[in-house]
Every structure is written in C-alpha cells, then in structure tokens.
C-alpha cells in the first residue's frame, strides 16, 4: 500500500526566519505534499466550474475546450482505477448464475 508523504508545517514566525531560497524550497515541498491529494476533474465538473465562472458569456469554443480538459481528467481517473485493480489481482468469481443473451442462448 502506498503511504502518504509527511510534511511538517512551519509556524508564521519560523517562515519569517527563512531565507528566500529556503522559503521557496519549503513551498516546493509543500506543493509536492499537497499534490498527492489532488484528483483530476472530469468532463462534467470541468464544464460546471466553467459555467459558474463565466456565466452567461460562455462561448461554444470555451465549452469545447472544457470538454477536452474534462475528458483527459476522466481518462486519468479511469487509468488510476485500472492500475489499482491490477494491484489487487482480482480473480473472477463464479456465482453459478446463467444469463440469457439477446439471441436466445444462455451463458454461464
């Protein structure tokens, strides 16, 4: 099982004592830590957020672009699920049920 990376949050006083280089390194570590909790947006949510942001001024071009971005997010999510299922190494289960096909035949 994948473990979450740990991140130590600094207080405001500790942040003020950091040099500029140390501060940016801290921000990079924090961004990497927070990135592990992100999930790509799917098509539905991408279009929903766009319509809430733009409102009535929404153009067809913007909507098509939101769909493209959302499809990439849907694909990434599906790929993550596929990879997780592969790690589980699930075997098919025989439930002893017969299913009727459209042509009239039966399948075990």
Kindly write down the DSSP assignment for every residue of 37-101, as one continuous string: T-----HHHHHHHHHHHHGGG--HHHHHHHHHHHHHHHHHHHHHHHHHHHHHT---------EE-
The domain of 98 spans 39-107
Residue 3 has pLDDT above 70, yes or no: no
83 in a domain, yes or no? yes
Report the mean per-residue pLDDT for the chain.
86
49 in a domain, yes or no? yes
1 in a domain, yes or no? no
9 in a domain, yes or no? no
Global pTM reads: 0.54
How many Å apart are CA 98 and CA 31, to the nearest integer?
A: 52
88 in a domain, yes or no? yes
87 in a domain, yes or no? yes
Counted domains in the chain = 1
64 in a domain, yes or no? yes
Half-sphere exposure for 106 (CA within 13 Å, toward CB): 4
Res. 4 pLDDT band, cuts 50 70 90 = low
11 in a domain, yes or no? no
Which pLDDT tens digit goes with each residue over 51-88? 999 988 999 999 999 999 999 999 999 998 888 888 88
């Amino acid at each position: 099982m994948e473990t979450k990376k740990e991140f130590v949050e600094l207080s405001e006083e500790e942040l003020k004592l950091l040099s500029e280089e140390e501060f940016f390194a801290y921000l990079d570590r924090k961004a990497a830590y927070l990135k592990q909790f992100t999930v790509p947006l799917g098509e539905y949510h991408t279009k929903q957020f766009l319509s809430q942001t733009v409102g009535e001024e929404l153009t067809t071009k913007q909507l098509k672009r939101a769909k493209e971005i959302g499809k990439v997010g849907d694909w990434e999510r599906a790929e993550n699920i596929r990879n997780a299922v592969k790690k589980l190494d699930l075997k098919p289960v025989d439930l002893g049920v017969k299913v009727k096909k459209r042509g009239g035949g039966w399948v075990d």
